[in-house]
Amino acid sequence: MKFQASQSSLFSAFQTLATIIPTKSPMPVLMHFLVQLTGKKLVVTATDLEISMETQLEVSGEEDGKALFPARKYLELLRELPDVPIHVEAADNGRITLTAEGKNYNLASENVQNYPKVPSLEKVEPLRLSQSQLRRMISKCSFAVSRDELRPQLTGVYAKVSAQELRFVTTDGHRLVKIGYQHNGYKGAALESIVPAKAMQNAARLCEREGDIEMFFTDKQIAFRVGPTTMITKLIEGRYPNYEAVIPSDNKNKLTLDLDQFQAAVRRAAIVSNEISRQIRLKISADNVEILVEDIEQGNEGRESVSCSYAGEPMDIGYNAAYVLDVLKQIDTGEVVLDLGTPTSAGIVKPTEQEEKEDLLMLIMPVRLN
């Protein structure tokens, strides 16, 4: 393989992938960039086996081929070279040579045959949507992701794509977020997958600009592409719990509250609540909600009322204040609607009005009062 390109273009391309390269690994090949040249197209890949990143750049190619570049040494050398055309050559014996204006460096490398297979996206149909929409969806559902590694499926974001809708679901068993978006069209097969939370976080970081992002759904991976850069990430194995079944359909008690008032009241109550359990109690009647809090261990207590409109049975229900605040934070409308069933069953929390093409629904489980 032989090509030539400017120091700046090479450095910025390799630099974007540098974060993926593990600093230490029992697999030495992973501490290398995989570099493939076809004609003028140079494809650079890095992987830690969980997340792979790939970027492309145009070079003046001389001889096609592929090779591994030792990441740290190569990148540091590149950084220290002046911005001049650099000639790069990978010999059959695996040695990498950099030549620039009489400077000549020769690096040892690993056998390219030992590099893990790079998943191909060539035949996969992308879903296209705006970066801001994806970022918004991720930020709305992120708080409910579970940290319980014993239920690995819950530590991810459930993502379902169909011809009409992209849907994300997250839950930790105490709260649940379901957010759907009517996209502009997707020709690929409908697919469900569970995306590791970390990967979603990285995807949100890709969504920094105005343009669109492409998502690729496959059996083992999900990929996000912005411009020349693609991030491919492994999925979590297993089945997501049946979230549809736990969304109540017959919650008859409808409570509507002013968001700011309610939020402020809960925040005050939370201060006085027990720092560990965060327990608060809502006494709901026809036109007002009384918020009661008592921390026996510290000897603190408090109460206040917020006016509301309520259609349903009077109810006395306990919540973890932090959960209530988390959920309220996702509401963008002036009022919030709670559809409640019983003091021990899931309550639905929604904005009074959905954003265009969007459908946001949250569940919150109460705490049973003794």
Tokens for 292? 């009661």
Instruction: Report which DSSP code applies to 31.
Output: G
Instruction: Report which DSSP code applies to 48.
Output: -
Pick out residues in 34-73 that bind other proteins (CB under 8 A). Answer: 49-50
- Indicate left, alpha or beta for 49 from its phi (over 0: left) and psi (-120 to 50: alpha): left
Q: Which of 9, 130, 139, 251 binds other proteins (CB under 8 A)?
A: 139
Q: Which range touches other proteins (CB under 8 A), out of 73-81, 178-186, 194-202, 353-361?
A: 194-202
Q: How many CA within 13 A on the CB side of residue 287?
A: 0
* By CB under 8 A, residue 320 contacts other proteins: yes
Q: How far apart are CA 201 and CA 255, in angstroms?
A: 34
Q: How far is the CB of 264 from other proteins (least distance, A)?
A: 10
Q: Which is nearer to other proteins, 121 or 325 (by Cβ)?
A: 325
Pick out residues in 200-259 that bind other proteins (CB under 8 A). Answer: 200-201, 204-205, 220-221, 234-238, 241, 246
Q: Are 145 and 170 in contact (CB under 8 A)?
A: yes
Q: How far apart are CA 138 and CA 186, in angstroms?
A: 20
DSSP lists the bridge partners of residue 169 as 158, 178
* By CB under 8 A, residue 151 contacts other proteins: yes
Q: Which of 43, 68, 86, 138 binds other proteins (CB under 8 A)?
A: 138
* By CB under 8 A, residue 192 contacts other proteins: no
Q: How far apart are CA 4 and CA 24, in angstroms?
A: 30
Q: Which of 259, 345, 354, 361 binds other proteins (CB under 8 A)?
A: 345
Q: How far apart are CA 333 and CA 324, in angstroms?
A: 16
Q: Which residue from 9, 129, 96 is spatially nearest to 57, judged by alpha carbons?
A: 9
Q: Which of 226, 325, 337, 361 binds other proteins (CB under 8 A)?
A: 325
* Alpha carbon distances (Å) from 165 to 127, 181, 192: 10, 5, 12
Q: How far is the CB of 42 from other proteins (least distance, A)?
A: 23
* By CB under 8 A, residue 147 contacts other proteins: yes
Q: Are 44 and 55 in contact (CB under 8 A)?
A: yes
Q: Which is nearer to other proteins, 248 or 312 (by Cβ)?
A: 248
Q: Which residue from 216, 163, 225, 211 is spatially nearest to 193, judged by alpha carbons?
A: 216
Q: Which residue from 84, 7, 71 is spatially nearest to 44, judged by alpha carbons?
A: 71
Q: Which is nearer to other proteins, 174 or 225 (by Cβ)?
A: 174
Count interface residues toward other proteins (CB under 8 A).
80
* By CB under 8 A, residue 334 contacts other proteins: no
Q: How far apart are CA 213 and CA 220, in angstroms?
A: 20
Q: How far is the CB of 111 from other proteins (least distance, A)?
A: 8
Q: Which is nearer to other proteins, 5 or 51 (by Cβ)?
A: 51
* By CB under 8 A, residue 365 contacts other proteins: yes
3 state SS of 260: helix
Q: Which range touches other proteins (CB under 8 A), out of 21-29, 54-62, 78-86, 93-101?
A: 21-29
* By CB under 8 A, residue 302 contacts other proteins: no
Q: Which residue from 166, 230, 172, 213 is spatially nearest to 193, judged by alpha carbons?
A: 166
The size of the chain, in residues, is 370
Q: Which range touches other proteins (CB under 8 A), out of 13-21, 72-80, 308-316, 361-369?
A: 361-369
Pick out residues in 64-123 that bind other proteins (CB under 8 A). Answer: 113-114, 116-117
Q: Which of 12, 18, 19, 28 binds other proteins (CB under 8 A)?
A: 28
Tokens for 237? 């194995």
Q: Which range touches other proteins (CB under 8 A), out of 87-95, 137-145, 251-259, 305-313?
A: 137-145
Q: Which is nearer to other proteins, 25 or 182 (by Cβ)?
A: 25
Q: How far is the CB of 257 from other proteins (least distance, A)?
A: 18
